[in-house]
Amino acid sequence: MRQRTFSIIKPDAVRNGATGAILAEIDKAAFRIVAIRKQTISKPQAEGFYAVHQGKPFFDGLCDFMSSGPLVLMVLEKENAIADLRKLMGATNPANAEEGTIRKRFAASIQENAIHGSDGEDTAAFEIGYWFAGYELI
Ligand code: CMP
């Protein structure tokens, strides 16, 4: 089943000049880029996006980090997109990420972990709709 997922190349990876290399990995893994936009988000925008993590000890630092510089918002499509992107990303904590994954190559810490990917169908629908309008997703 063809499926869409939502992804972010996070500010650490953009700052480190890894945007092109991460896009190449995504391309090599046969994802279609449905929509893509580089922008700097505000802290309230980050708080709304990560609302599910509100109250957790890392929430405030995470939202500061996500609003600290430009990032790249993307909607990606392929068969089994949600699970396949998570496999390509590797574990949330790069210390536990497998060889060959994006986080193993590009992430420095559990917070500054280079890339985000939706963790399920409902989350993907919320996250795509949070950042992109329907007319941008054709
Ligand atoms: P992401 O996949 O974007 O989803 C939530 C984010 O919170 C996660 O990647 C990390 O950037 C961050 N995160 C999760 N757990 C921790 C933690 N224990 N400490 C700091 N940041 C975390």
Domain ranges of the chain: 2-137
Active site annotation includes 116: yes
- CA of 30 from ligand 1 middle (Å) equals 26
In contact, 40 and 68? CB cutoff 8 Å: no
Measured in degrees and rounded to the nearest 5, phi and psi for residue 37 equal: -155, 130
Is the pTM above the cut of 0.85?
yes
Residues (pLDDT < 70) of the chain are none
- 46-85 pLDDT, tens per residue? 999 999 999 999 999 999 999 999 999 999 999 999 999 9
Q: What is the pLDDT of residue 1?
A: 82
Cα 135 to ligand 1 centre (Å): 30
Query: Could you tell me which residues come within 8 angstroms of residue 29 by beta carbon, excluding any fewer than 6 positions away?
Result: 78, 84, 85, 88
Q: CATH says 2-137 is which class?
A: alpha beta
